[in-house]
Structure 1
Amino acid sequence: MDDEPATGPWERPGRFVAAEADYDAATWVIAGAPLELTVSYRPGTRWGPTRIREASHSLETYSPELDRDLEDLAIHDAGDVVLPLGNLGQSLARIEAALRRPVADGKRVLLLGGEHLVTLAAVNAVLDRYPDLVVVQFDAHADLRNRYLGEPYSHATVMRRVLDLVGTGRLWQLGPRSGLREEFQLARQEGRLFHDVGEGAEALARELAGPLRGVPVYLTVDIDVLDPAVAPGTGTPEPGGPDFGVLQRALYRLAHAGAWVVAADLVEAAPPLDPSGRTEVVAAKLARELLLAFSREVAR
């Protein structure tokens, strides 16, 4: 495994619905990163990409709310990055390397996780092309610890590492309702923190019409931002979150404000923890809405 190039091979466990385009023709590239090495409570995220793809075929390709259809987009599903068992550093390196090509080619990327640490690899890849990147996080947790159980790289430290990369004022956190006192102090000092996702989306929309107009955005959505009643299949569920409609409207608000989303991820779905199967359907619909909402070109 270690002798293989960092960009491959890919596993292709099935395609996301309507993701039929060849790579060269695609405007969106979907990739899976089934990483599960630092999960701290309940396991299952490595099944996220496969089960989200499967659940996508239970949905229509058309979004009535947006009046747009996946069939009208050129989407390429590259499959899952093959990750070496037990090797965190090499796993992150392979994810980063795999995403560099589509980002460099000017394609938009949707990454399906996997645990939230995959965001660090993706942001590293995107920053090469878009050094003025702003990161927008929908999440129940701040994820701003400097170390967790002595380790600097964890799904509990991922946004601290991202903050190290993008710098003060370039991290927007919408929905956090769990974390250490120190994490929330840091969030208020170094970024923009909103417990209410609707309020946060409104504030960010105003910025997108002003000083952040035309700035490239990386959007990371941790499925646990939703209330566990909506999406119970996640490793660290946190009561008190929004329902699907509230999150959906917040994403639409950013899209209508002209957010230039150059890459996004959807992470922390752990389908085996939800025998009802609704979490992967929720995740698949979120992925559909992300692809459709942020596909329009915006003035830059």
Structure 2
Amino acid sequence: MSETFENKDFNTNGVGLKNGNFIGLPFDEKTAEVVLFPVPWDVTVSYGEGTAEAPKKILEVSSQLNLFDLDVRDAWKRGIYFQPVSEAVMKIRNQLRPKAVRYIDFLENGGVVAENAEMQQTLLEINEQCEAMNFFVYRETKKLLDAGKIVGLIGGDHSTPLGYLTALSEKYERFGVVQIDAHLDLRNAYKGFTYSHASVFYNAVQMPEIKKLAQVGIRDCCDEEVEFAENNDRIKMHFDEQLKEEQFNGASWDEQCNEIISELPGNVYISFDVDGLDPKLCPQTGTPVPGGVDYNQVVYLFKKILKSGRRIIGFDVCETGNAEWDAKVAARIIYKLSCLAG
């Protein structure tokens, strides 16, 4: 519990306060144990854009959440604080996104970057700014980790957690990652973007501290990614189709969760791309895919991680669409992970 909570006049049964804080909670960064760090970035997305706007939308709708949690009574009292969205980062995103759209359109219409000086310059600029964004995320999350905070990164697209994973790799000698996702995100510099949203785990597994990457809900990927994963003994793919067929043949989700968790080390990071969910829960995400896991399934998986004796050391929730329903679902996921982490 936050040391300062007892000094706060806060009614859990009252009206949801729109006071600029997550769920209207009475904490600031100093008094909170869990800090939610927003990253408004979706420069390299290849289909639907708008996830850069999601952190603001999630914060806005969070006042509709109630605080009772069946698993961790009064967990919110530890303190949860949502940092302000960086207007500087959003400004750079707004400058780069139209350039990225023109670049992607050029590629998709058969253009050859090596033969076009303007596109070469665009690619160079975007790669440089994405690297700068990664450093910004690394620097800010490292500060929070050094201050003893549990950090939940709120995207933006799925490229945004890479700097946070780098900071965690300096804090922990070994940890595992559970990735909830429709996509493998194992492409090498997708469309020329070194730090593409589709390349985040290709980049992340270069960190030796990540001892296991368990990918859950996968149902949209390319041959190159599958081959890369099959040739890396630190990566385990759990395809949505296979999970469902096992269930049709009598397997329980409890048994499957045990299998997913079995090779993970003691410290576990959750990387939650909301398109891993059934798209009824995230219709405005950038690349929705039929199939996927349900909300209560992933919550059960998270609880099984804790029951196994492992610890959730941090998390991200990314690719939320800029729409009220999508933001409400994401806010509930964020609150549940905030209750369970640490």
TM-score range, shorter chain: 0.7 to 0.9
For residues 183 and 59 of structure 1, do their structure 2 counterparts lie closer, same or farther at Cα, with a shift above 3 Å needed? same
1:193 has 2:237 as partner: yes
For residues 167 and 178 of structure 1, do their structure 2 counterparts lie closer, same or farther at Cα, with a shift above 3 Å needed? farther
Q: Any conservation in 2 of the 1:221–1:267 contact (CA below 8 Å)?
A: yes
For residues 79 and 259 of structure 1, do their structure 2 counterparts lie closer, same or farther at Cα, with a shift above 3 Å needed? farther
* In structure 2, C-alpha distance between the alignment counterparts of 1:133 and 1:63, rounded to whole Å: 27
Match of 1:54 among 56, 60, 66: 60
* In structure 2, C-alpha distance between the alignment counterparts of 1:105 and 1:133, rounded to whole Å: 20
Q: How many residues align?
A: 273
Residues 61-210 of structure 1 aligned to structure 2 (within 5 Å): 61-64=67-70, 66-81=71-86, 82-83=88-89, 85=92, 86=96, 87-166=129-208, 169-190=211-232, 191-196=235-240, 198=253, 201-207=257-263
Write the deviation string for residues 186-215 of structure 1: whole angstroms up to 9, x where unpaired: 22332111124746532243345xxx2xx3
Shift of 1:164: 1.1
Q: Any conservation in 2 of the 1:115–1:155 contact (CA below 8 Å)?
A: yes
Shift of 1:76: 2.6
Shift of 1:286: 0.5
Name the SS of the counterpart of 1:172 in structure 2: strand
Q: Greater CA deviation, 236-245 or 68-77?
A: 68-77
For residues 256 and 19 of structure 1, do their structure 2 counterparts lie closer, same or farther at Cα, with a shift above 3 Å needed? farther
1:218 has 2:269 as partner: yes
Name the SS of the counterpart of 2:282 in structure 1: coil
Q: For structure 2, list consecutive stretches of 5 or more residues without a partner in the other structure.
A: 1-18, 97-128, 244-252
Q: Any conservation in 2 of the 1:110–1:265 contact (CA below 8 Å)?
A: yes
- Same amino acid, percent of matched pairs: 30
Write the deviation string for residues 87-106 of structure 1: whole angstroms up to 9, x where unpaired: 32222221211111111222
For residues 193 and 200 of structure 1, do their structure 2 counterparts lie closer, same or farther at Cα, with a shift above 3 Å needed? farther
Q: Any conservation in 1 of the 2:305–2:311 contact (CA below 8 Å)?
A: no
Matching residue of 1:23: 29
Q: Any conservation in 1 of the 2:279–2:289 contact (CA below 8 Å)?
A: yes
Write the deviation string for residues 116-155 of structure 1: whole angstroms up to 9, x where unpaired: 0011111012111113122221101000011211222100
Shift of 1:43: 0.5
Q: For structure 1, list consecutive stretches of 5 or more residues without a partner in the other structure.
A: 1-12, 296-300
1:262 has 2:321 as partner: no
* In structure 1, C-alpha distance between the alignment counterparts of 2:206 and 2:299, rounded to whole Å: 29
For residues 136 and 154 of structure 1, do their structure 2 counterparts lie closer, same or farther at Cα, with a shift above 3 Å needed? same
Greater helix share, structure number: 2
For residues 148 and 261 of structure 1, do their structure 2 counterparts lie closer, same or farther at Cα, with a shift above 3 Å needed? same
TM-score (norm 2): 0.74
Q: Any conservation in 2 of the 1:255–1:294 contact (CA below 8 Å)?
A: no
Find runs of 4+ consecutive structure 1 residues off by over 6 angstroms: none
For residues 97 and 168 of structure 1, do their structure 2 counterparts lie closer, same or farther at Cα, with a shift above 3 Å needed? closer
TM-score (norm 1): 0.84
* In structure 1, C-alpha distance between the alignment counterparts of 2:74 and 2:231, rounded to whole Å: 41
For residues 216 and 19 of structure 1, do their structure 2 counterparts lie closer, same or farther at Cα, with a shift above 3 Å needed? farther
Matching residue of 1:242: 293
Shift of 1:216: 2.4
Shift of 1:71: 3.4
Q: Any conservation in 1 of the 2:42–2:50 contact (CA below 8 Å)?
A: yes
Write the deviation string for residues 18-58 of structure 1: whole angstroms up to 9, x where unpaired: 54323333221111011111111011111111111122111
Shift of 1:233: 1.6
1:36 has 2:56 as partner: no
Which is higher, the Rg of structure 1 or of structure 2?
Answer: 2
Equivalent AA in structure 1 for residue 57 of structure 2: R
* In structure 1, C-alpha distance between the alignment counterparts of 2:210 and 2:175, rounded to whole Å: 12
